[in-house]
Amino acid sequence: CIRDRYQRRVRGFFGILIFASIPNPLFDLAGLVCGHFLIPFMTFFGATLIGKAVIKVHLQMIFVIILFHKETIDKVVHYVEQLLPSLKGGLHSLLETERKKLHEPHHHTHGENKSVFSYVWNLLIFVMVGYFVVSLIDSSVQNYLSSQQQKVHENESSEKKKKQKKNKTGKLQAAHQSS
């Protein structure tokens, strides 16, 4: 029994460590499973801390360095230009222009020298904030309508009970008078 608990704790630690180390959208599910199987909090927290703060950060750092290295980008651009000959030269020049805009000092406050990526990024942020506001309003309206429906339902049920009580007392009085 003690050996089984020890093995579960060790296996749980390394399982959590692996799930926390890779970019995994199902990690929340792994946390729920750990709670279900009563994995101790310190085991879960320790493995998560090591997995996310040490292993995952370094893996992502290496991935980004390799992915955005000039030679890697040049190879990818060359491959894409081979697949799509109509982009020949245009894609490479676009990336070079964007790279220069990214590395130049930001003395310009006008929108004329903004990069395409900054416009796309600003649009993405705007859409996300807009979606958040719309969902917040929708949730508030749903809560309000739900509370209104509940009040109407309570009023209807209380009126129904009053009518039933009135009918009962009326029948009792009629029965009393007839006897």
The string of pLDDT tens digits covering residues 80-111 is 888 888 877 777 777 778 777 777 766 555 55
Tokens 């020890």, residue? 6
Q: How many percent of the chain have pLDDT more than 90?
A: 12
pLDDT of 138 reads: 92
Of residues 8 and 165, more confidently modeled: 165
Of residues 22 and 36, more confidently modeled: 36
Q: What tokens does 36 get?
A: 């279900």
CA angle 116, 118, 122 (to 5 degrees): 120
Q: How confident is the model at residue 128 (pLDDT cuts 50, 70, 90)?
A: very high
* Cβ contact 21:57 at 8 Å: no
Q: How many percent of the chain have pLDDT more than 70?
A: 83
Distances (CA, A) of 126 to 31, 130, 132, 141, 169: 32, 6, 10, 23, 64
Under DSSP, the state recorded for 3 is H
Q: How confident is the model at residue 149 (pLDDT cuts 50, 70, 90)?
A: very high
Mean pLDDT within 106-128: 75
Mean pLDDT within 158-178: 75
Note the pTM of the prediction, 2 decimals. Answer: 0.39
pLDDT of 141 reads: 93
Instruction: Kindly tell me if the per-residue pLDDT of 60 is higher than 90.
Output: no
pLDDT of 147 reads: 92
Of residues 55 and 89, more confidently modeled: 55
